[in-house]
Amino acid sequence: MSSDASRDGVEAAQDKPPVEENHGVEEKVPNPSAEEKTPINVAAVTSGSGSDVEEVLRGPNGEEYPTKVELDTLRRVKGPINWIIYTIAFIELCERFAYYGTTAVFVNFISQPLPAGSTTGAGGTDLQAGALGKGQQASTGLVLFNSFWSYVLPLFGGWISDTYWGKYKTIHVAIVMAMLGHIILIVSALPPVIANPSGALGVFSLGIIFFGIGVGLFKANISPMIAEQYEKQQPRAVIKILNSGERVVVDPIITISVIYMRYYFFINVGSLVGSIAMVYAEKYVGFWLSFVLPTALFMFCPFLLLAFKNKYVRTPPTGSVLGKAIGLIGLSMKGRWSLNPITTIKNLRAPGFFERVKPSNIPEAERPAWMTFDDNWVDEVRRGLKACAVFVWYPIYWLSYNQLNSNLVSQASTMILNGVPNDVVNNLDPIALLIFIPIVDKFIYPALRRAHINLTPIKKVTIGFALSTISMTVAAIIQHYIYMQSPCREISGYGYIDDCRAALGLPDDAPESAYKPPLTVWIQTPAYVFIAFAEICSSITGLEYAFTKAPRNMRGMITGVFWFAQAFSAAISQAFVPLATDPYLVWLYTTIAILSALGGVGFWHNFAKLDREEEALNALPDSLFKGSRNQDADFVALEAQKAEQEKIRHAQGLDKNPVIHS
């Protein structure tokens, strides 16, 4: 690559040594200050098969890198997780408390009428909380719109942070927008406003527009930012010697996976507390309080960000690189487009698709002016696009999850509640996550690693599809029995009639057992537990996959693609709104279960080959291209850094196990 091209977009990537914590494990390698920078020391020892050199690999501060044999044979463990990471997780906890605390009451606020004698929407122990009385179809449509809007905006949020603002600044802008949305939602729930349901619905709709903008900008950036704190601390796998004498590999990929597990745990603490507290606030005080309390906690977010600003790794924006990535595809497809879409798809998936547009394979005089990057960045783009291809299948997975805060909430209202608010039951999902995430993190995944069972991301996501299928099957069975055991079955034929209590001539204070099927709401528990396990397998893994597979200067954008899959799923769910009413709900859950099953089969069929590339994808050499904004670089240091990186890869045999290029 020409020096002129390099000057437009490369920057020396300086590795920092691992910062270790003592968790009963003795690290028997030096660990001096992270500020020291010395060349890698190479001494003669066998590095293992796959490499034709004999080297012991030591980093700039004496840390030992694993050899080829050690990478293949030693047990892999997580590294130490710095406390600063948990401050970002707590910020996300506050944001999720605000989001789920607010949205938990949307269904009742929109669908249920104002209880008799209430001006705030509170129903007390005996009456159903409600406000606007627009029905289940209206509530399902608006809840799905909110989900779509909140998760389509991460595409914009990721792009603008990568290109112009950086993650830290974008998160601050997100907080301002979301706060404005929260305030408007509070206004929509004030007693004088809900007295006019149509006007309140208009104010509410405006509120969720601003609310969704804030959520979208926030979500695209908070999850990659948390993992970047560890990546800066330990960018490469190192050797550690335990007190037992066992040599293990401290694997950054495993550590990032653990970080996202714990991050998701914090998310669900916020979700659980927010949802339960706000549902009871709605039921006994009114909807205005359900919107005020989340807003109050959300106000902690900017203060925490400012308090720890100087301790965070704040990756700067790099200027636009999206155009270069698109340009690569256009250049490789030059002369290969076809009016036949099948032919075009085959050309896009042809072997050597990205190999032929690497700068080293194009004579310097023939390179486009925008080709200011190295070969390694082309490999990173190819890897990032593979991640996007994986996320194309996620809308099918999210179909099951979307029922969590809409139709399953309505299903709960048709069963015996015994004073439990119907929209508190779906908190069985975060409760299950809070129970099982630590079990999976501390016991199941480590046990699989000790048994040398490699549960790769593609395998985890496939399992997630299967669990989603089971969850919707359970929901369909429950709905069938709701119809079959309804006291109004003789009147309606299939157990459904609008306002069964009135049809039976019962007073407003009649006990639930007189007009509802004899089914306790807690039989929904298996459906929520299976959704929770599906989230562990698919949702957490998706965040991890977006971070580890994206080019470093496109992480916000690729994370936005991950979240956009949920937005697209919400749009697809709109097609099921006609089924989201009695007596078609059995067909709704059954259809989603079938789609989830077919999606899982199709997902594995498409990505089994990519699954075999997992190790090679994770071991790609780092590109020195950082983006068009980074003009100033020490080019001597660049070449030295690249040489050291290639030396390590060669000694570890990674250059002899290349990615299958396409």
Cα–Cα dist 201/207, whole Å = 10
Strand blocks (E) in 135-224: none
Averaged pLDDT for residues 636-645: 68
pLDDT tens per residue across span 89-116: 999 999 999 999 999 899 899 999 999 8
551-561 tens-digit pLDDT: 989 999 999 99
Q: What is the spatial distance between Cα 340 and Cα 347, in angstroms, rounded to a whole number?
A: 11
In contact, 391 and 566? CB cutoff 8 Å: no
Partners of 132 in the β-ladder = 113
Q: Does any domain span residue 372?
A: no
Q: Does 359 score more than 60 pLDDT?
A: yes
CA atoms lying within 13 Å on the CB side of residue 31: 14
Starting at the edge strand that comes first in sequence, how are the strands of the sheet with 56-58 ordered? 41-43, 56-58, 64-65
Predicted confidence (pLDDT) per residue in 440-479, tens digit: 999 999 999 888 888 999 999 999 999 999 999 999 999 9
Closest CA to 114 of 192, 185, 195, 169: 195
Cis omega (within 30 of 0) for bond into 551: no
What burial letters (b/e) apply to 4-27, b meaning 16+ CB within 10 Å? ebbebbbbbbebbbbebeeeebeb
Mean pLDDT of the chain: 85
Instruction: Please indicate whether residue 3 or residue 550 has the higher confidence score (pLDDT).
Output: 550
Does the residue 204 lie in any domain? yes
Instruction: Check residue 238 and report its DSSP letter.
Output: E
pLDDT-derived band at 55 (thresholds 50, 70, 90) equals: low
Tens digit of each residue's pLDDT (9 = 90 or more) over 192-217: 999 999 999 999 999 999 999 999 99
Which strands form 247-250's sheet, in the order they lie side by side? 76-77, 247-250, 238-241
3-state secondary structure 389-404: HHHCCHHHHHHHHHCC
Q: How far apart are CA 107 and CA 136, in angstroms?
A: 8
Quote the pLDDT of residue 15.
40
Please give the pLDDT value at position 44.
Answer: 35
State the average pLDDT over residues 78-83. Answer: 93
Q: How far apart are CA 407 and CA 582, in angstroms?
A: 11
Position with higher pLDDT, 561 vs 406: 561
Neighbouring-strand partners of residue 77: 250
Other Cβ atoms less than 10 A from the Cβ of 561: the count is: 24
pLDDT at 9 (0 to 100): 39
User: Is residue 613 scored above 70 in pLDDT?
Assistant: yes
> In terms of Cα–Cα distance, which of 277, 125, 114 is closest to 191?
114
Question: Comparing 103-112, 391-400, 414-423, 562-571, which segment has the lowest mean pLDDT?
Answer: 414-423
CATH of the domain at 610: 1.20.1250.20
Q: What is the pLDDT of residue 127?
A: 85
Least Cα distance to 579 among 403, 425, 453 occurs for: 403
Round to whole Å and give the CA distance between 183 and 121. Answer: 18
Q: For position 28, what pLDDT does the model report?
A: 41
Q: Is the dihedral of CA 329, 332, 336, 341 positive or negative?
A: negative
Centroid of chain to Cα 193: 36
Answer yes or no: is 278 within a domain: yes
Q: Is 227 part of any domain? A: yes
Q: Report, in angstroms and rounded to the nearest whole number, the Rg of the chain calculated over CA atoms.
A: 27
- Choice between 14 and 248, residue whose per-residue pLDDT is larger: 248
Position 631 confidence tier, pLDDT thresholds 50, 70, 90: low
- Percentage of the chain surpassing pLDDT 70? 87
Does residue 46 carry a pLDDT above 50?
Answer: no
Contact 101, 278 (CB under 8 A): yes
What range defines the domain where residue 560 resides? 83-319+389-496+514-618
pTM, two decimals, is 0.84
Higher pLDDT among residues 257 and 645, named by residue: 257
Q: How confident is the model at residue 284, as a pLDDT?
A: 93
Residues 162-180 pLDDT 10s: 999 999 999 999 999 999 9
Domain assignment present for residue 221? The answer is yes
Confidence (pLDDT) at 550: 94
pLDDT tens digit sequence for 279-310: 889 989 999 999 999 999 999 999 999 999 99
Letter string b/e over residues 447-479, b meaning 16 or more CB atoms within 10 A of that residue's CB: eebeeeeeebbbbbbbbbbbbbbbbbbbbbbbb
3-state secondary structure of 255: helix
CA atoms of 40 and 20, how far apart (whole Å): 20
491-520 as b/e: b if 16+ CB within 10 A: ebeebbbeebbeeeeeeeeeebeebbbebe
CA-nearest of 637, 453, 662, 649 to 39 is 637
Identify whether 461 is part of a domain: yes
Q: CA nearest 315: which of 157, 164, 94?
A: 164
Residue 546 inside a domain? The answer is yes
Residue 130 · residue 109 · CB < 8 Å = yes
Domain count, the chain: 1
Residue 308 lies in a domain: yes
Instruction: Give 494's pLDDT tier (boundaries 50, 70, 90).
Output: low
Share of the chain above pLDDT 90, in %: 57
pLDDT at position 656 over 70? no
| Cβ–Cβ < 8 Å for 127, 527 | no
DSSP string, 440-460: IIIIIHHHHHHTT----HHHH
